[in-house]
């Protein structure tokens, strides 16, 4: 009885239903999908051999770098893996960058590659115990993986008494689904520090060592099972970590005394670096977790976000974001004259409270800028009448870009004239000074945002039309028509003009590829056409593209203003397995069904194979006959098959006419 159970594949109800419903359903198009890259980063100017793990990656032709930070050639590949030779530009900016691949199936999702200033090195196995610990010299950025069950990574390093080092593990922030823990131990194996889930799922800690000696950093997975895609960067440095700056907003032409918040703010010789020309600044005092700085904003600085960093003897810090905003500044006190920009520190127990006058029927907007620009504040905004009665509130407003926004926004039309109050409170922590915010308050200005339905659309070669939808989010009374233009299409692809009618919230381009070959692509952008009156301003359509395969707030996103449109070959069939996991015993076998969806008129037989099967596990010969809508596959494990898991087994079906399709991956366990 036990052996029979162990030989049976796991089958979900949803999978069974999908098999039953396969007949008559449309053939599914599979875009190339990248799950991880290793290594996850390098220094500027480096040439890196990188491995991509994913699905539907066959015949990859091109690697696309939207910001041009690198170039690459594909030196090897299969349906589930690619090997790239990536050349990072010598002037590549520090921080996250993004790339995708294009195949005859279309353009893939984006992956993240991080450029940093420290020496980079790769983890070397075996290093899963203190005896096998990999020696590293500090400072360093270690690219590592926890990609097999039971894997731990130990790194050995020497420090001096009194040294303070920052240990920063980047995985979720790099778009990976690994959830690791970081442990510091001494040479006798005693735990000195432990960290988890500081930034999304990523550990972060600062430690001052009490004695000269040899110490160990240990990366431990918190998962019950590891995955081949699990990767991370362990950054060990003295260069400081920056979190945010207060005030978070400054006016053009101002000289501002500001406070930086972070960790490791110790090098008094550090200088300020700015992401834009014309800004000047100086470091006045370092205080460990804060620094006093002075910033001179150019008089001609345009409104918008900027970045600053500290550069010192130990390298460059990460960047902190601040805003340039020309809205008149609040002159102090509890009363507001609109329009106005208020900067302050958001608190829970002592919320900021300001009074203002509103006219009968007047529409006013109150917007908090904090979390979207690096502040950890989680704002709650309320409008109160003269008697203290709440008439409007907002916790998390709807802004373009962020997926997990914590900033508030209220647009309110006041029924009666009178004096009102606006209250801002921090919901994240009860105490602390590192919660800067900007509150913008003023008359309502009708406006809109444009959002791309996808950042990797495709159109079939041969002229069959495809749709690219654009959502129009209307704000504060804007109700006019919006005409859109599209630029950057590949040669041979055309799109009809689009106008989103008055009062409607969506439009769509119709794309046609006539004469363009599968695998050709273009980087497109969509923007609104400005009217002479200025009633319709120019806005670029954007999308918040998911990078991470993590769930919930463990996901990582990038706000992109361009999409990669690709010409794709039309699939003749698609495959769906009735199982998500198969369990085998050594010497045993298991059978499961795969459904086949066929395009009209496609009746060819299909021969099946698998990629990433473990050694001594075989697939019995399987061919779906002409017109067949399903096939039974049988896996057999030899007596010497290794016990363990293979989490990314690909099921491949090849038609006699030459087209090969892949089913979504399945997991395989051998007991």
Residue 7 has pLDDT above 60, yes or no: no
Question: What is the distance between the alpha carbons of residues 308 and 627, in angstroms, rounded to a whole number?
Answer: 62
Q: How far apart are CA 232 and CA 169, in angstroms?
A: 7
Query: What CA–CA distances, in Å, run from 312 to 263, 278, 322?
Result: 14, 20, 21
Which tens digits make up the pLDDT trace of 555-591? Answer: 888 999 999 999 999 999 999 999 999 999 999 999 9
Q: Do 499 and 507 meet the contact criterion of CB atoms below 8 Å apart?
A: yes
CA 346 from centre of chain: 27
The span from the CA of 398 to the CA of 378, in Å, is 14
Rounded Cα distance, 656 and 669, in Å: 31
Domain borders along the chain are 2-26+571-670, 33-115, 120-237, 241-324, 340-444, 448-550+564-568
Examine the pLDDT at 11 and tell me if it is beyond 90.
no
Q: Which residue has the higher pLDDT, 18 or 631?
A: 631
Phi/psi for 4 (5° steps) reads: -65, -40
Q: Is 8 exposed, middle or buried (0-12, 13-18, 19+ CB in 10 A)?
A: middle
Interatomic CA distance for residues 597 and 28, integer angstroms: 8
Residue 121 forms beta bridges with which residues?
A: 142
- Percent residues over pLDDT 90 in the chain: 87
| Residue 109: band (very low, low, confident or very high) from pLDDT cuts 50, 70, 90 | very high
- Which has more confidence, 6 or 501? 501
pLDDT score of 554: 74
Please give the pLDDT value at position 4. 33
Q: Which CATH number fits domain 33-115: 3.40.109.10, 3.60.70.12, 3.50.50.60, 2.60.40.10?
A: 2.60.40.10
| 2.60.260.40, 2.60.40.10, 3.40.190.290, 3.10.20.600: CATH of 241-324 | 2.60.40.10
CA-wise closest residue to 391 among 414, 362, 365:
414
Residues in the chain: 671
What is d(CA 356, CA 346) in angstroms, rounded to the nearest whole number? 19
Sign of CA dihedral 376, 312, 195, 219: positive
Q: pLDDT tens-digit profile of 49-59?
A: 999 999 999 99
Sign of CA dihedral 425, 430, 431, 435: negative
DSSP state letters, 448-463: EEEEES-SS-EEEBTS
CB-CB contact of 120 with 39 (8 Å): yes
Cα-only R_g, the chain: 28
Give the DSSP letter of residue 533.
T
Q: What angle do CA 33, 36, 40 make, to 5 degrees?
A: 140
With a cut of 50, say whether residue 485 has pLDDT above it.
yes
Q: Which of 528, 541, 558 is nearest to 469 (CA)?
A: 541
Model pLDDT, residue 550: 67
Q: Are residues 489 and 435 in contact, defined by beta-carbon separation less than 8 angstroms?
A: no
Give me the pLDDT at residue 656, please. Answer: 87
Assess contact for 560 and 455: CB atoms under 8 A.
yes
Would you state the pLDDT for residue 22?
40
**CATH number for the domain whose boundaries are 340-444:** 2.60.120.380
**Cross-strand bridge partners of residue 634:** 591
- Inter-CA distances, 561 with 526, 536, 564, Å: 8, 19, 10
Check if the beta carbon of residue 232 is closer than 8 Å to that of residue 175.
no
234 touches 144 (CB < 8 A): yes
Is the peptide bond prior to 503 cis by the omega test (within 30 degrees of 0)? no
Same fold? 33-115, 448-550+564-568: yes
Instruction: Write the pLDDT tens digit of every residue in 122-150.
Output: 999 999 999 999 999 999 999 999 999 98
Q: H or E segment at 2?
A: helix 2-7
Q: Indicate whether 17 pLDDT > 60.
A: no
Which residues make beta-bridge pairs with 34? 54
Burial status of residue 641 (CB atoms within 10 A of its CB: 0-12, 13-18, 19 or more): buried
DSSP 8-state code for residue 66: T
Burial of 158 (0-12, 13-18, 19+ CB in 10 A): middle
In this prediction, residues 315-328 reach a mean pLDDT of 97
Find the angle CA(184)-CA(185)-CA(191) to the nearest 5 degrees: 90
- Residue 552: the pLDDT is 65
User: What residues form DSSP beta bridges with 472?
Assistant: 450
Res. 205 pLDDT band, cuts 50 70 90: very high
Nearest CA-CA partner of 243 in 460, 508, 90, 435: 435
Res. 403: pLDDT tops 90: no
**Ranges of H-type helices in 486-536:** none
pLDDT tens digits along 339-361: 999 999 999 988 999 999 999 99
For strand 379-384 and strand 418-426, is the pairing parallel, antiparallel, or unpaired? antiparallel
pLDDT digits (tens, 9 = 90+) for 209-254: 999 999 999 999 999 889 999 999 999 999 999 999 999 999 999 9
Q: What is the pLDDT of residues 431-445, one digit of tens each?
A: 789 999 999 999 999
- Sorted by sequence, the CB contacts under 8 Å of residue 447 that are 6+ apart come out as 475, 476, 478, 537
Q: Considering the domain 448-550+564-568, what is its CATH architecture?
A: Sandwich (2.60)
- At 231 the pLDDT is 97
Are 568 and 458 contacting, i.e. CB atoms less than 8 angstroms apart? yes
Report the mean per-residue pLDDT for the chain: 93
pLDDT at 25: 60
Which residues are bridge partners to 667 per DSSP? 581
Please, which residues have CB within 8 angstroms of residue 82's CB and are 6 or more apart in sequence?
51, 52, 54, 57, 60, 74, 76, 101
Fold of 120-237: Jelly Rolls (2.60.120)
Q: For the residues 301-316, what does the mean pLDDT come to?
A: 96
* 2-26+571-670: CATH, from 2.40.170.20, 3.30.450.80, 2.40.30.10, 2.60.40.10: 2.60.40.10
Q: Say if residue 430's pLDDT is above 80.
A: no
Element at 219 (helix H, strand E): strand 213-221
Give tens-digit pLDDT for 242-285.
999 999 999 999 999 999 999 999 999 999 999 999 999 999 99
What is the per-residue pLDDT for 533? Answer: 75
- Whole-number percent of the chain with pLDDT over 70: 95
H or E stretch covering 589: strand 589-598
């Amino acid at each position: 009885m036990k052996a029979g159970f162990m030989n049976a594949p796991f089958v979900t109800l949803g999978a069974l239903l999908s098999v039953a419903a396969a007949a008559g359903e449309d053939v599914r198009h599979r875009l190339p999908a990248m799950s991880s890259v290793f290594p996850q980063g390098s220094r500027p100017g480096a040439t890196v051999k990188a491995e991509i793990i994913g699905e539907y990656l066959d015949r990859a032709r091109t690697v696309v770098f939207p910001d041009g930070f690198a170039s690459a050639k594909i030196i090897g590949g299969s349906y589930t893996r690619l090997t790239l030779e990536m050349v990072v530009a010598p002037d590549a900016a520090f921080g996250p960058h993004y790339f995708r691949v294009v195949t005859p199936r279309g353009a893939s999702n984006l992956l993240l590659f991080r450029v940093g200033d420290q020496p980079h090195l790769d983890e070397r196995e075996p290093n899963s115990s203190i005896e096998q610990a990999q020696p590293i010299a500090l400072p360093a950025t270690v690219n590592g993986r926890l990609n097999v069950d039971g894997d731990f990574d130990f790194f050995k390093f020497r420090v001096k008494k009194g040294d303070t080092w920052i240990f920063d593990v980047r995985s979720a922030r790099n778009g990976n689904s690994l959830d690791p823990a970081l442990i510091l131990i001494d040479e006798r194996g005693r735990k000195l520090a432990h960290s988890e889930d500081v930034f999304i799922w990523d550990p972060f800690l600062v430690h001052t060592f009490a004695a000269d000696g040899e110490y160990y950093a240990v990366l431990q997975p918190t998962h019950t099972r590891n995955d081949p895609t699990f990767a991370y960067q362990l950054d060990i440095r003295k260069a400081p970590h920056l979190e945010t700056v207060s005030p978070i907003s400054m006016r053009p032409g101002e000289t501002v005394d500001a406070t930086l918040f972070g960790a490791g703010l110790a090098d008094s010789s550090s200088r300020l670096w700015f992401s834009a020309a014309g800004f000047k600044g100086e470091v006045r005092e370092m205080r460990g977790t804060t620094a006093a700085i002075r910033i001179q904003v150019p008089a001609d600085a345009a409104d918008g976000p900027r970045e600053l960093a500290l550069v010192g003897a130990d390298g460059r810090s990460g960047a902190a974001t601040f805003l340039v905003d020309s809205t008149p500044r609040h002159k102090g006190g509890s009363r507001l004259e609109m329009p106005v920009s208020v900067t302050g520190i958001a608190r829970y127990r002592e919320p900021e409270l300001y009074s203002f006058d509103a006219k009968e029927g007047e529409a006013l907007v109150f917007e908090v800028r904090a979390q979207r620009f690096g502040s950890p504040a989680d704002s709650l905004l309320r409008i109160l009448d003269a008697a203290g009665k709440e008439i409007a509130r907002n916790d998390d407003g709807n802004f373009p870009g962020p997926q997990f926004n914590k900033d508030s926004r209220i647009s309110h039309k006041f029924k009666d004239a009178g004096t009102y109050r606006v209250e801002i409170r921090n919901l994240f922590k009860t105490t602390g000074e590192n919660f800067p915010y900007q509150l913008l308050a003023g008359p309502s200005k009708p406006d809109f945002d444009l959002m791309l339905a996808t950042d990797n659309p495709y159109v079939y070669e041969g002229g069959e039309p495809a749709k690219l939808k654009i959502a129009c989010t209307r704000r504060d009374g804007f109700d006019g028509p919006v005409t859109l233009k599209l630029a950057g299409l590949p040669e041979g692809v055309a799109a009809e003009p689009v106008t989103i009618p008055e009062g409607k919230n969506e439009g769509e381009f119709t794309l046609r590829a006539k004469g363009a070959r599968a695998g050709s692509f273009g980087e497109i952008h969509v923007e609104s056409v400005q009217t002479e009156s200025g009633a319709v301003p120019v806005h670029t359509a954007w999308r918040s593209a998911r990078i991470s395969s993590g769930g919930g707030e463990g996901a990582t996103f990038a706000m992109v203003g361009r999409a990669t449109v690709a010409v794709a070959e039309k699939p003749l069939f698609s495959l769906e397995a009735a199982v998500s996991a198969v369990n085998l015993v050594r010497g045993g076998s298991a059978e499961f069904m795969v459904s086949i969806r066929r395009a009209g008129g496609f009746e060819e037989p299909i021969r099946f194979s698998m990629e990433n099967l473990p050694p001594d596990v075989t697939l019995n010969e399987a061919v779906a006959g002409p017109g067949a809508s399903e096939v039974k596959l049988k896996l057999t494990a030899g007596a010497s098959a290794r016990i363990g898991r293979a989490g990314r087994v690909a099921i491949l079906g090849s038609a006699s006419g030459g087209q090969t399709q892949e089913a979504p991956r399945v997991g395989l366990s051998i007991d």
